[in-house]
A and B are shown apart, each in its own frame.
Chain A
Amino acid sequence: MPDWLDVAVRGVIFLIVLFLMTKLLGKKQLSELSFFEYVSGITIGSIASEVIINLDKKIWNGIIGITAFSVLILLIEILSLYRKRVRDLVEGSGTVVIKDGKVLEENLKKENYSTDELLQLLRGKDIFNLSEVEYAVLEPNGSVSALLKKDYRPVTRKDLGLTSVNEKEPQTVIMDGEILDEALTTIGKNRGWLQAELDKQNVSIENVFLGQVDSYGSLSVDLFDDKIEVSESQERPLLLANMKKCQADLELFAIATESKTAKSLYTENAKKLEESMQKLTPYLKN
């Protein structure tokens, strides 16, 4: 066998071996969250590359090396899953670098981080002013997690005292002009419904690059042909506007009528509509 063919064959074999091993070790290995995973990733890769290029080395030795390493990591990982002490030892724990808004210089030195590096990491989190940080931890994987002071945190619905509204994740039902039946069934819809929605927006399925259904069951599409304008669904705001109009009408009737019973009927219903509108507004506003 010529050298080049040998290298090619080895390349293919080790690609398969590495693929199987990463599958075995799972997503955690890829995320390299801890020192241990980082080192093992490098070592496994080095063994593979060494055996692929260096034709003096036996293929079997490489495969055994990688397998042994992977199995060992897997065992340690399983062990650390159940034992906190093993976990702390293997994966390390975070170091607090800012507490009560003050930088803990000692801890920073211990982790060999300079002030510049800390600032750089914080800037990566869009924090430019150290005084905005209440608490920050240097994670075992070298990134920094920061808790902002309450004043500098983004405003939430809760801060504004708005009623809590929950929304489910949008489902992608059309991709590259193909219908994804699985996503459709997840939201309890079928192809007939989708076709009707598409007809409503006047687009054909072949022209749809991406189609998503939101929490309220309305379909938004992106077309291949970007010259065609697709209108955003106005269903919910329109409904709210209709309610407002109707409520105003009822109040008007109440004023206009001379009959006492009719007056109370109108006012009562206007009030009912008003209440209903208040409850629905958070859901109907876009």
Chain B
Amino acid sequence: MTVGANVKQCLATVKSIEAGLSTLASNSSDEEAKRLFHEQMMVMGEIKKDIMKRVGELEREEEQYKGF
């Protein structure tokens, strides 16, 4: 696997973490836990954005692996 593919896989994992945290945030009954899950979900969103940017750069470098 190329670096591009690895980074894309990592991006997918971050997305799944974000979704998991979102579910927990809406399902938890304790307010404090709800808030924390929501906050960390936002952090995941930031990380996701950064990695997506990097994926774009990598795609330009490795034309043949384009598409996601």
Instruction: Identify the stretch in A138-146, A148-156, A246-254 within 8 Å (CB) of chain B at 4 or more residues.
Output: A246-254
Q: B3 an interface residue at 8 Å Cβ cutoff?
A: yes
Q: List 18 A-B contacts (CB under 8 A).
A: A166-B30, A215-B33, A217-B23, A217-B24, A235-B20, A238-B20, A239-B17, A242-B17, A243-B17, A250-B10, A253-B3, A253-B6, A265-B54, A268-B50, A269-B47, A269-B51, A272-B47, A280-B37
Most chain A beta-carbon neighbours within 10 Å: one of B10, B13, B51, B57: B10
A214-230 vs B, Cβ < 8 Å mask (1 yes, 0 no): 01111000000000000
Q: Cβ of A239 and Cβ of B32 under 8 Å apart?
A: no
Q: B64 an interface residue at 8 Å Cβ cutoff?
A: no
Query: Given A215-B28, A216-B28, is A166 in contact with B33 using a C-beta cutoff of 8 Å?
Result: yes
Q: Cβ of A276 and Cβ of B43 under 8 Å apart?
A: yes
* CA of A187 to CA of B13, assembled, Å: 29
Residues of B within 8 A of A (CB): 3, 6-7, 9-10, 13-14, 16-17, 20-21, 23-24, 26-30, 32-33, 36-37, 40, 43-44, 46-47, 50-51, 53-54, 57
CB contacts under 8 Å to B, within A144-182, are: 165-168
Residues of A within 8 A of B (CB): 165-168, 187-188, 215-218, 235-236, 238-239, 242-243, 245-246, 249-250, 253, 256-257, 262, 265-266, 268-269, 272-273, 275-276, 279-280, 283
Q: Cβ of B16 and Cβ of A242 under 8 Å apart?
A: yes
Shortest beta-carbon distance from B7 to chain A in Å: 6
Query: Given A236-B24, A243-B17, is A215 in contact with B40 using a C-beta cutoff of 8 Å?
Result: no
Query: Given A269-B47, A279-B36, is A256 in contact with B27 using a C-beta cutoff of 8 Å?
Result: no
